[in-house]
Amino acid sequence: MPQTIRSGEPLGGGAAHGPDGRRLGLVLGTLVLPMYVALGAPAVALPSIGRALGVPFGATAWILAAWSLTSALAMPVAGRLMARWSPFRVLVAGVVALSAGSALAAAGPTLPVVVIGRLIGGAGAGATVIAVFAVATALPGRHRLRALGTVAAASATASACGTLVGGAVTAWLGWRAVLAIPVLALPLLLVASADRRAFTGVGGGDRDGAAERFDVVGAAVLSVLAGSLITVLQAHSVGLSAPVTLAVAAAGALAAVGLWWRVRRRPDGFVPRRVIAARGVPAAGLVGGAVFAGYYGVLFLAPSLIEQATGGGALEAGALLVPAAACSVLAARLVGAATARFTAWQVSAGLAALTTLGVLVVSVFNGPIAVIVGVALTVCGFAGAQAVLVGLAPDLVAADDRDTAQGLLTFMVNLGGGIGPAAVAGLSGIVSVPVALAVLAVLPLAGLVLGVTRRPGARHPADAVDSQPGKS
């Protein structure tokens, strides 16, 4: 994602007069709290949503998949727009879309309206995350580390509390309130506005740069390809007829051809040819996407499985999943230490192995304990995969392409978060849940194979990981 100020340069006229990293980190961390709580909270509410809207449980997977899809697509788009707009403007646009979409989802009378709201909200979330990390990574060295550390701590804590918050809100206020949680980002934006000078000091509107040459066609065909893939995977669970499913598949095939044509015709477009052709870039995106698919696929089913096993409701399911979700905090620290001793490919292979094991535990064993253990293992993979793999970008591409490569890798990794629940939901209507999960395990297993077979890099990626806009 392009920025006109490098991470080591001071903001606002020099380090001595720039914003304090700890204070700005608190502002940014507070701003992203509703989004990271919303990662786990809606999953706990899905059984209630299905019953309230009168739709099969499998169809509610769209609520998770839609958010992941547009969030993934919005990240590289927002990164490109920051060559023209300041991060503060991108942040405002992102929070407005996040809040408006979440409000629409919460008020939606039918599942399609809820899903449309989630699509809008997910796009806003992706743009907001990119803007937040653009500000944090543009601070001078020590301030940057403080800001990133504070944001990482806030996001990990919020993610860990997501299932409990989702269960409590569902039990006490209803599922609509759960989907409305991200709306809280709008009043929190007023707090961030107090530091507007810091936001507008990053990216000055390089109007002669990439933003003026934004490849709308490239972004559009990539969006159609990703959306059609998730729709086809979930076609059975949402009751799409065969002609409609074939039409969507045909649109995806045409989009794939269109993307190939666009990359050849415009090598410097939205999907630069030299970036996707770089050795290791496709593999890194596939490994991360496979890990995210495993995590979100298990997260989609976990609350329902616990409710069935215990006879309890959303609050009990959310509370039981808290220890598993809390593993994200520990995993982030362990992954940080591992990158100092092993290559990124070795670490990513380990994360994929944990994710595969977690999916299989939920598939093979019965009872709430197995579900909690399985979720905990997949959480460990989720917590480190994006940061480690996106952190590979400086080792895989030229310096001028680093930001673009990070954006595309982030897109591929987060797209897996939409594929996971869509695949499980679609398969669950055809085969048993254990079989569906066993098939899902093939994805992180393939990621494990890719991670193992990649040639280790020449140096450790720890320094690169520290400054990447990934989830941790």
pLDDT per position as a tens digit, 379-408: 888 877 866 776 677 778 887 777 778 778
For residues 295 and 359, membership in a common domain is answered with: yes
Pair 135, 87: CB distance under 8 Å? yes
Last residue of a domain, one of 171, 199, 214: 214
Q: Which of 265, 298, 330 is the last residue of a domain?
A: 265
Mean pLDDT of 87-114: 93
Domain tally for the chain? 3
Q: Which amino acid is at 366?
A: N
Question: If pLDDT is split at 50, 70 and 90, which confidence band does 10 have?
Answer: very low
Q: Which two tokens stand for residue 170?
A: 């569902």
CA distances from 181 to 65, 193, 299 (A): 18, 20, 18
Stretch among 88-102, 170-184, 378-392 having the lowest mean pLDDT: 378-392
Looking at the fold, whether 333 and 410 belong to one and the same domain comes out as yes
Give dist(CA 406, CA 392) in Å, integer: 8
What does the pLDDT read at residue 186?
92
In this predicted structure, what is the pLDDT of residue 466? 42
Rg, C-alpha atoms of the chain: 21
Least confident of 78-82, 127-131, 145-149: 145-149
Do 370 and 459 lie in one domain? The reply is yes
Same domain, 243 and 387: no
Q: When comparing pLDDT for 313 and 52, which is higher?
A: 52
For 402-449, the pLDDT digits (tens) are 777 877 888 888 889 889 998 998 898 789 999 999 999 999 999 999
- Please state the rounded mean pLDDT for residues 235-247: 86
User: 378 pLDDT band (50/70/90 cuts)?
Assistant: very high
Report whether pLDDT(116) > 70: yes
Per-residue confidence (pLDDT) for residue 327, from 0 to 100: 83
Residue 88's pLDDT is what? 79
Inform me whether the pLDDT recorded for 457 exceeds 50: no
Q: State mean pLDDT over 145-173.
A: 79
Quote the percentage of the chain above a pLDDT of 70: 82
Residues 289 and 418 placed together within one structural domain of the fold: yes
CATH number at residue 326: 1.20.1250.20
Residue 35 placed within a domain? yes
Asked if residue 8 belongs to a domain, the reply is no
Tell me, yes or no, whether 273 lies in a domain: no
Residue 102 shares a structural domain with residue 224? no
User: pLDDT digits over 23-75, tens only?
Assistant: 777 788 888 889 888 878 898 999 999 999 999 888 898 998 889 889 888 88
- The pLDDT score that the predictor gives to residue 193 is 75
Share of the chain above pLDDT 90, in %: 35
Within 10 angstroms of residue 195's Cβ, the number of other Cβ atoms is 18
Written in H, E and C, the secondary structure of 131-187 is HHHHHHHCCCHHHHHHHHHHHHHHHHHHHHHHHHHHHHHHHHCCHHHHHCHHHHHHH
Give the confidence band of 11 by pLDDT, cuts at 50, 70, 90. Answer: very low
Which residue has better confidence, 86 or 304?
Answer: 304
Residue span of the structural domain in which 121 resides:
13-214
Q: What would the pLDDT profile of 126-137 be if each residue is shown by its tens digit?
A: 898 888 877 776
pLDDT higher than threshold 50 for residue 460: no
SS (H, E, C) 72-129: HHHHHHHHHHCCCCCHHHHHHHHHHHHHHHHHHHHHCCCHHHHHHHHHHHHHHHHHHH
Domain-embedded: residue 34: yes
User: How sure is the predictor about 198, in pLDDT bands with cuts at 50, 70 and 90?
Assistant: low
The burial class, CB within 10 Å (0-12 / 13-18 / 19+), for 142 is exposed
Residues 191 and 222 in one domain: no
Task: Indicate whether 1 belongs to any domain.
Answer: no
Statement to judge: residues 202 and 223 lie in one domain: no
Q: In whole numbers, what is the pLDDT of the chain averaged over residues?
A: 81
pLDDT, greater one: 335 or 352: 352
Q: Which amino acid is at 301?
A: L
User: Do 236 and 206 share a domain, yes or no?
Assistant: no
Write out the two tokens for 142.
């020590």
Q: Give every CB contact of residue 39 below 8 A, 6+ residues apart in sequence.
A: 159, 162
Contact indicator for 390, 411 with CB cutoff of 8 Å: no
